[in-house]
Chain A
Amino acid sequence: MTPGEFEFLKNFLKTRSGLVLSNDKQYLVESRLLPIARSSKLETLSAVIQTLQRSGNRALETDVIEAMTTNESFFFRDKTPFDNFRDTMLPALLQSRSNFKQLKIWCAAASSGQEPYSLAMCLKEEAAKMGGWRTRILGTDLSLEVLEKAKAGLYSQFEVQRGLPIQLLLKYFEQKGDMWQIGAPMRSMIEWKKLNLLENFAHLGEFDIVFCRNVLIYFDQATKSEILARLAKSLPEDGYLVLGAAETVVGLTDAFKPVPGKRGLFQKKPAVHAATGPGASTRFAAGGVAGLRR
């Protein structure tokens, strides 16, 4: 791979996925794209990039973007966000939404599904407090390939042993040969969609909670700010935004503020010129509930 080819790849990924590839990421490119070089019979990285330069090969373009933007994922990754979900977000929302008993959650970088399924398990574990509630989880990702895996809910023995307590494995999974599949009731709680965060997502409607962990790190400052501004529009006044442990909104947006003492958890700053009534009723008036129905 020549410096020129690397430069082309950087620009290609930046414009197509928003991924910012720094110059020290040559090794990452090699480890992610060599398998594609082999499977597409192009043999070398240079050949892959030259094919991209000639353009028109949509399948290859998609493969390259997916390979470069996919992350490894664990069940209950980092633990804290899920503790915050159970102990902070859920109690508050169960109270404030007690009239219409609906909860909508969006995992904006769902990857192979571990995060949405972890939330689904959290909800099941809290089921006693949620009689009559309708909950929906939307999982989106840039990569169709990981979404297919997520949808199937099939995980290797290694994957189910990272972060998933054995009791939950017994309770919610079925053994399928060498693999473990999360049960049908859990799979039916989640809807999957391909989505690029660079594109408009207003049509998805409003969510009570958005998990957007470890994905903004790939974008430059301006893009981060722009995505955060649009995320703010997807949340009601009392909604929650969950970012990765090392991520922050500081210096990026005025729309969110950290929830004190809760790492990675953010809420919207109250609008300065809030015109009418509490958030919940505005939300009704704006047809937010209708947006919850499919």
Chain B
Amino acid sequence: MKQCLVVDDSSVIRKVARRILEDLQFEITEAEDGQQALDECRKTMPDAILLDWNMPVMDGLEFLTSLRAEEGGESPIVVFCTTENDVAHIARAIRAGANEYIMKPFDREIVEAKFQEVGLI
């Protein structure tokens, strides 16, 4: 079973994402901000990370930049999932090492399509 870390400060979004991803046969761990996510990754590197942008303590982009600099941090497939939906943000995320990008609001079909796109399912 593949592992996916869901990073979002909204518990509602985490719950929705968990439900969708569990149906897609992922084992889910959760984090509320970038720092918690980084701590999780240092314990166990997940196969995939669904990542919000705007979060307290450490935001998604900062987390991604730190993750990619960690040992083994290049391996997880990172899919941003954020309300930031302009070209500039998307381009920054890709440059920082994101593999895919979901613009909120999202649904089951979009998550499935994006995860397929990056070869996770």
Contact = CB atoms under 8 A, between A and B. Distances in A.
Given A157-B85, A161-B106, A166 B113 contact: no
B12 interface: no
Interface stretch (B14-22, B69-77, B97-105): B97-105
Nearest to B87: A175
Contacts of B109: 162
Chain B binding surface SS class: helix
A80 to B, nearest CB: 12
A158 B86 CA distance: 14
Interface residues of A, number: 13
A163 interface: yes
Given A175-B86, A175-B87, A165 B94 contact: no
Given A158-B110, A161-B110, A161-B113, A166 B86 contact: no
B103 A157 contact: yes
B117 interface: yes
Contact of A170 (B85, B90, B116): B90
Contact of B102 (A79, A161, A163, A165): A161
A165 B90 contact: no
Given A166-B94, A170-B94, A161 B86 contact: no
A162 B103 CA distance: 11
Contacts of B100: 165-166
* Residue of A79, A161, A163, A167 contacting most chain B CB atoms (<10 Å): A161
Given A165-B117, A170-B87, 9 more contacts: A79-B116, A158-B107, A161-B102, A166-B94, A166-B101, A167-B94, A169-B90, A170-B94, A175-B86
A-B pairs, 4 with minimum CB distance: A166-B101, A161-B110, A162-B113, A165-B117
